[in-house]
Amino acid sequence: MIPMNPTPQSALAGIRVLDLSRVLAGPWATQILGDFGADIIKIEKPGDGDDTRSWGPPFLRKDDGAHGDAAYYLAANRNKRSVTIDFAHPDGAELVRRLAPHCQILVENFKVGGLKKYGLDYESIAAINPSIVYCSVTGFGQTGPYAKRPGYDYIIQGMGGLMSLTGEPAGEPMKSAVAVCDLFTGMYAVTGILAALRHAERTGQGQHIDASLLDTQIAMLANLGANYLLSRETPQRLGNQHASIAPYQVLPTSDGHLILAVGNDHQFRDFCAASEVALCDDPRFATNEARVVHRAALTEALSQIMRTHTTAYWIAALETAKVPCGPINTLPQVFADPHVIARHAVENVTRADGEQLELAANPLRLSATPPQTRAAPPLLGQDTDAVLRELLSASDAQLQHWRDTHVI
Question: Measured between alpha carbons, how far apart are the two ends of the chain, in Å?
Answer: 25
Q: 3-state class of 278 per DSSP?
A: coil
Residue 281's alpha-carbon distances to 164, 288, 291, 298, 327, in angstroms, are 35, 13, 12, 13, 28
Active site residue 50: no
∠ CA(85), CA(87), CA(90), 5° rounding?
120
Rounded-to-integer distance, Cα 33 and Cα 46, Å: 24
Q: What is the secondary structure of 27-50 as a DSSP string? A: HHHHHHHHHTT-EEEEEE-TTT-S
3-class secondary structure, 219: helix
Cβ proximity of 44 and 84 under 8 Å:
yes
**Residue of 50, 69, 121, 182 with catalytic role:** 182
Taking the C-alpha atoms of residue 95 and residue 86, their distance in angstroms, rounded to an integer, is: 9
- DSSP codes of every residue in 322-345: T--EE----HHHHHH-HHHHHTT-
CA–CA distance, 288 with 263 (Å, rounded to integer): 8
Alpha-carbon distance 123 to 271, whole Å?
60
Residues classed as catalytic:
182
